[in-house]
Amino acid sequence: MALKSYKPTTPGQRGLVLIDRSELWKGRPVKALTEGLNKKAGRNNTGRITMRRRGGGAKRLYRIVDFKRNKFDVSATVERIEYDPNRTAFIALVKYDDGEQAYVLAPQRLAVGDKIIAGTKVDVKPGNAMPFSGMPIGTIVHNIEMKPGKGGQIARAAGTYAQFVGRDGGYAQIRLSSGELRLVRQECMATVGAVSNPDNSNQNFGKAGRNRHKGIRPSVRGVVMNPVDHPHGGGEGRTSGGRHPVSPWGKPTKGARTRNKNKASSKLILRSRHAKKKGR
């Protein structure tokens, strides 16, 4: 999808750059594949804010997307590509040969009328899904499972992908777009191709209101707060926040490592995404 820029006829249109979604389906989603979605506004079950700068936003319907792709050896035809307000990627409505419909993440270069299939060893074509055990090394993949049968969790956002770079015992080595090299079990499923809508990060929303429609509230910098509100607050004149930038709860921020060294999944990470930064 191409980007669309606007003439500055109003202040909000000046500099506005959006995704051209004219080729997407313009109707409503399939009702059987949707469910209601309550606003969380960044609160937990006791009503306390656990994620700042959330609230408001347009009402959404949740589209039930098949991240598991466990319907093996039944081919499906792409009926249409749709917009999904709950994610940055586009989704594809597919109809299996037995009549069942499902939503899947749409990869790049997947068009209406294309056939996709999931199986233990299938063609390396965008949209086809298989476990790493049946996949050739070097394949570009997305929607990668971390535990067999749990459903894809890695590389689901717009334009993301990982590369299958090798096998190691019962594990597959994958290189993520962050630069991290990690292991997942070879029984884990992955879908061939990169996720659709790669231009998503090149958008410029033009005005604060567009972010409010997405449920994102303004971010106030700690250095402009009072001492009671933030560790960076207070001081005479403009101050930069001191030698040790921290979050409101005193945790180091701006690049300081806060990951637990003894985390169980650390042994599955062969090279950290931060490894390339250590030479600086």
Domain boundaries, the chain: 3-11+20-37+60-200, 221-280
What distance in Å separates the CA atoms of residue 189 and residue 180, rounded to the nearest whole number?
19
Query: Letter for the amino acid at 5?
Result: S
Best CA proximity match to 143, nearest among 192, 74, 183: 192
Cβ atoms of residues 108 and 194 within 8 Å: yes
50 CB contacts (<8 Å, ≥6 apart)? 42, 43, 44
* Predicted confidence pLDDT, tens digits, the chain (280 residues): 689 999 999 999 999 999 999 999 999 999 999 999 999 899 999 999 999 999 998 999 999 999 999 898 899 999 999 999 999 999 999 999 998 999 999 999 999 999 999 988 888 899 899 999 888 999 999 999 999 999 999 999 999 999 999 998 889 999 999 999 999 999 999 999 999 999 999 999 999 999 999 999 999 998 999 999 999 988 888 887 778 889 899 888 888 888 888 999 899 998 988 886 654 4
3-state secondary structure of 93: strand
Torsion angle of the four alpha carbons 69, 71, 74, 75, in this order, in degrees rounded to the nearest 10: -20
Q: Does domain 221-280 have CATH number 3.40.50.1820?
A: no
Return left, alpha or beta for 228; rule: phi > 0 is left, psi -120 to 50 is alpha, else beta: alpha
46 CB contacts (<8 Å, ≥6 apart)? none
Query: Letter for the amino acid at 67?
Result: F
C-alpha count within 13 angstroms, C-beta hemisphere, residue 154: 25
* CB atoms inside a 10 Å sphere around CB 50: 11
Residues 67-99 as b or e (16 or more Cβ within 10 Å = b): bebebeeeebebebbbbbeebbbbbbbbeeeee
**The pLDDT of residue 152:** 92
Torsion angle of the four alpha carbons 132, 137, 138, 143, in this order, in degrees rounded to the nearest 10: 0
Query: Any idea which fold 3-11+20-37+60-200 has?
Result: SH3 type barrels. (2.30.30)
Cβ atoms of residues 143 and 128 within 8 Å: no
**The pLDDT of residue 139:** 92
* CB atoms inside a 10 Å sphere around CB 11: 10
Strands 17-19, 34-36: parallel, antiparallel or unpaired by DSSP?
unpaired
pTM value? 0.87
Task: List alpha helices for the chain, DSSP H.
Answer: 208-213
What distance in Å separates the CA atoms of residue 98 and residue 206, rounded to the nearest whole number?
46
Q: What is the DSSP letter of 202?
A: G
Tokens standing for 135?
Answer: 């996949």
Identify how many contiguous H helices and E strands the chain contains and give both numbers: 1, 17
